[in-house]
Structure 1
Amino acid sequence: MPLLKIQNLSRSFDDKKAINNISFALRKGEILAILGESGSGKTTLLHLIGALQEPDEGELLLEGNRITPPSRKLIAGHPDIKLVRQDYGLFPNISIRENIAYELRYYEENYRNKRVDKLLKLSGLDKVQTHLPREVSGGEQQRAVIAKAIAEQPKLLLLDEPFSHLDAVNKRRLKTEILRLIKAEEVSCIFVTHDVSDAYGMADRLAIMRKGKILQLDNPQTVYQHPANRYVAEITGEVNIVNEDWVAKAGIKHQFVRPEQIRLALLSPLKATVLSVKFLGSYYEISLKCLEQELKMFSFEALVVGAEIGIEIKN
């Protein structure tokens, strides 16, 4: 039995479908990333799963039991599902430790202290536990919020744009630390993002949303290498969109060619002219013209502008 099962879920605002007939299942311990542009319905979907908004149609099941919609409860939400919003939600005038402990205020003191100690250690916050939220970094604040959210050991954690406030260095560090924390606590997780780099290396599966629909849902590698359509191809990374005539002449199978699929091949009959070379740190971005089509390729070596080279396309 999946942990979460969503069947034919829909939600409209002012006659506009924010969520349009979505169905999928989430396994226990799985991390699912939902990727889409602003307005695609990602946050609305989280609110429906968390029983914070009312669906117009469809059903949500947690471990086989129907999730009660907010209209049938005094207080919206579900005790086994925790949502972490974009605004951190920490109490500003109490310490990091006290923020986490607040979630366990109705538990026996000895258990509460042991649980907080464990979460502080797992999240790497033990050295700043006495600090106020404003005295720690954005990444530490985000870890504290997540530790607070899983303090009562929910079955499902929902994260709304968890990395949006962070710079690249803190984002990479936080991804590693959140992944370790989630796996250690054996909690399932769904997080939404507009940046595909947030999903790579963290998500077990990746769903692409657009206008309230899921266009493709699979493991990240499959979604990247075999995108269902142009939108999926473009939102998941750099891609060359070639026409059908070029596909036939180049002898490839589809119109979506990733820059890293283009390789130098001295003896190849497929020739290209180097238009420009850009240094991007660990690699070069090479612009080519081949069969009247401009292409982008990646190379670890700089090429000479104006040179004619042989290339091949790795399917």
Structure 2
Amino acid sequence: MYSLEIDNLCYSYDGHQVVNQLNLQVKQNEIVCLLGASGCGKTTTLKAIAGLIQPEQGKVIILGKTMSHGRSFIAPQHRNIGMMFQDYALFPHLNVADNIAFGLKEKSKRVRAERVTEMLELIKLTPFAERFPHELSGGQQQRVAIARALAYRPNLLLLDEPFSNIDAQVRFQLINEIRAIIKSQQVSAIFVSHSKDEAFAFADRLAIMDKGQIAQVGDPQLLFQRPNCKMVAEFLGQGIYLDAERKNDSIVITRFGEIASLTSLADTKASGQVYLRPQHLELDNNASAVVDVLHERFMGTEYIYRISADGQELEIPHPADKPLDLNAPISLKIKAHAVNFFS
């Protein structure tokens, strides 16, 4: 049984199709990220799962129970879903312990106390039980919010941009902590984000959304190395396109020669483009395949060179101990790798 099944979900707003025939399955104890640019429909999808909006079409099923389908609709408070918002939505007049206990009102006093104690230990904030939200750091507030969302043992946890307000210096440490907390509670989660770095660190699988649909779903490594379309390739990392031709099991780029095997790629067309990211490329002083260096930036452990190739610009890292001579010709070399070939 899946924790969540979405079948043919559709929703419009002011005549604009926000979510269009969206399908998704989430396994038990799995974290799935709805990832995409602003306006792609990810937050609307989250609201439909939570029951905050009623879809025009399609099914939302949680642990085998249909939550919405046609005229059948179960209200949010009866879906046993935990939610964590971008601003955490902690109650300012309640201390940490009371915030965590908020969703446990129907439990006995003893059960509430035991669960709050358990959650405080889980988020490592036992000494802060009597403090109020304004007396906590952003990271501590976030841990309280996740504890409150998990306290009543939800069937599914929904997180809407939960890390966007956290300082970059501690963000990924906190991401690892929150992920470990969710995994320890054996709960499935849907995580909405526009940051691929957060998604890679937090989720088991990514569902890349575009124009109200899921363009591709899979684990981060698969999507990064084998995007099924240009939109997914570009969203997951900056790169450049170069014209190429297929010859047997290899491809040839006119300016750079044979570069890689095409094994496991389904596209059989003879010509197209390859998508090259910075890690696929290296620079050196060589008269062949000359590119223009637009800018040099020293970063301590490396240089960053912004180059122009076929009218496209890209920043490429380069070892700090081997700076390029900008007064001499500079060539672009393509490392052997499994390429992304789009016809």
2:133 alignment counterpart: 133
TM-score, normalised to structure 2, is: 0.83
Per-residue displacement from partner, 1:85-143 (whole Å, max 9, x unpaired)?
A: 22322110121111101222221222222211121121122232221001101111111
Match of 2:335 in 1: 313
Indicate how the Cα distance of structure 1 residues 231 and 105 shifts in structure 2: closer, same or farther if over 3 A, else same: same
Letter in 2 for 1:277: E
Where 2:48 maps in the other structure, the secondary structure is helix
Unaligned runs of 5+ in 2: 246-251, 263-272, 338-343
Give the distance between the partners of 1:52 and 1:92, measured in 2 at CA: 24
1:248 shift after superposition: 4.2
Query: Which residue number corresponds to residue 37 of structure 2?
Result: 37
Deviation of residue 41 (structure 1)? 1.0
- Distance 1:52-1:69 versus aligned 2 partners, 3 A rule: farther
> What is the identity, as a one-letter code, of the residue corresponding to 1:212?
G
Aligned partner of 1:288 in structure 2 is 307
2:295 to 276, 279, 284: 276
Q: Which residue type is aligned with residue 305 of structure 1? A: L
Q: Which residue of 2 aligns with 1:304?
A: 325
Q: Among all aligned residue pairs of Structure 1 and Structure 2, give the percentage whose two residues are the same amino acid.
A: 35
CA 1:78–1:43: 2 relative to 1, 3 Å: farther
Quote the Cα distance in structure 2 between the aligned partners of 1:107 and 1:215.
Answer: 43
Structure 1 range deviating more: 147-156 or 116-125: 116-125
Q: How far 1:70 sits from its partner (Å)?
A: 11
Relative to its length, the structure with more strand (as a share) is 2
1:61 matched residue in structure 2:
61
AA aligned to 1:314 is: A
Any idea what the Cα deviations from partners look like across 1:46-81, whole Å, max 9, x if unmatched? 011112211111111122221146975684344322
| CA distance 1:128–1:70, change in 2 (3 Å) | farther
* Aligned-partner Cα distance in 1 for 2:101–2:65: 29
> What are the equivalent positions in structure 2 for 1:15-164 lying under 5 Å apart?
15-68=15-68, 75-164=75-164
Question: Aligned to 2:316, what secondary structure does the other structure show?
Answer: strand
The CA distance in 2 between the partners of 1:309 and 1:46, in whole Å, is 47
In structure 2, what is the Cα distance between the partners aligned to 1:153 and 1:32? 19
Moved more, 243-252 or 93-102: 243-252
Q: What SS is found at the alignment partner of 1:12?
A: strand
Letter aligned with residue 15 of structure 1: G
Kindly tell me: are residues 282 and 166 of structure 1, through their superposed partners in 2, closer, same or farther at Cα, counting changes over 3 Å? farther
The aligned counterpart of 2:201 is: 201
Deviations 1:190-241 (A, max 9, x none): 1111111111121111111122111111111121222233332222222223
How far the C-alpha of 1:273 sits from its partner, in A, is 5.5
Q: Distance in 1 between matches of 2:120 and 2:230?
A: 44
Aligned counterpart for 1:256 among listed residues 267, 270, 275: 275
Q: 1:293 to 1:160 in 2, by over 3 A?
A: closer
Distance in 1, Cα, partners of 2:232 & 2:300: 26
- Taking the aligned partners of 2:74 and 2:26, their CA distance within structure 1 comes to 27
Return closer, same or farther for 1:249/1:137 CA change in 2, 3 Å cut-off. Answer: same
Residues of 2 paired with 1:72 and 1:291: CA distance? 55
Structure 1 pair 78/239, CA: closer, same or farther in 2 (3 Å)?
farther
What is the letter of the counterpart of residue 116 of structure 1? V
3-state SS of the aligned residue for 1:103?
Answer: helix
Report the CA distance between 1:170 and its aligned residue: 2.9
The residue type equivalent to 1:94 in the other structure is: L
In the alignment, what sits opposite 2:178?
Answer: 178
- TM value normalised by structure 1: 0.89
What is the alpha-carbon distance in structure 1 between the residues aligned to residue 182 and residue 69 of structure 2? 26
Q: Deviations over 1:26-45 (max 9, x none)?
A: 01011111111221111110
Cα deviation for residue 271 of structure 1 reads 5.3
* Runs of 5+ consecutive residues of structure 1 not aligned to the other structure: none
- The 3-state SS of whatever aligns with 1:67 is strand
